[in-house]
Amino acid sequence: MQSGGLTIGVHQCLRLKKSKRWKFRNMEHAAWSWNNGYFFVLSCSKFYVLCFTFQVPSSMLMTKLTLFCDGGARGNPGPAAAGAVIQNSAGETLASVAQFLGDATNNQAEYAAVILGIRKALEFQPTEIEIFLDSKLAVEQISGRWKIKDLNLKKLAEKAHVGLVQIPKWKIAHVARAKNCEADRLVNQTLDARGFKKSAFFRG
């Protein structure tokens, strides 16, 4: 049965060990986590706990995501690409996305990667997100700790915040390039596929 987005189960009598029965006798009319859902204790006798169960749909659960972003240009400016990897709280990859940007600077590509990743992450309706990238400049400017003087980057930062305001809690932090290798791989893969060779100035 559906009720307010919850899946309600029938009343159940659970036979529990003595130690747990005594625990619930003091917890009547309280909800407890059980079997990936919850149950509400109605009453507790000497042998059984009478309760009903309900399942909470994933859309109503807390969803914390981790987003790794990277952007790079082969030439500065030059052919550029952005890549992003989204992981859940268990470290499992939920999605990877990459985009060719045309000609852009390295900094513009880093910003574009954040925007690309946030837009993809919003599909999972996160309640919290941690964003990691290896551009100190982008991290400090998007967080608001550093002032943005470049007008183009300022516009990109505004686009990033359009997505961020839709997530209740967010954090952006700098990470070593070695720990951002999957997003970096997406950038290189995208540019390689279009036949652009690496240059001495490439940061992707």
Domains of the chain in start order, with CATH, are 2-59 (no CATH), 64-193 (3.30.420.10)
Place of tokens 């990470």: 175
In sequence order, the 6+-apart residues with CB closer than 8 A to the CB of 151 are none
Quote the pTM value. Answer: 0.71
In sequence order, the 6+-apart residues with CB closer than 8 A to the CB of 177 are 134, 184
Q: What tens-digit pLDDT sequence spans the chain (204 residues)?
A: 434 444 434 444 444 444 443 344 444 334 444 444 444 444 444 444 444 444 545 544 568 999 999 999 999 999 999 999 999 999 999 999 999 999 999 999 999 999 999 999 999 999 999 999 999 999 999 999 999 999 999 999 999 999 999 999 999 999 999 999 999 999 999 999 999 877 644 455
Q: How far apart are CA 161 and CA 172, in angstroms?
A: 12
Q: How far apart are CA 164 and CA 172, in angstroms?
A: 10
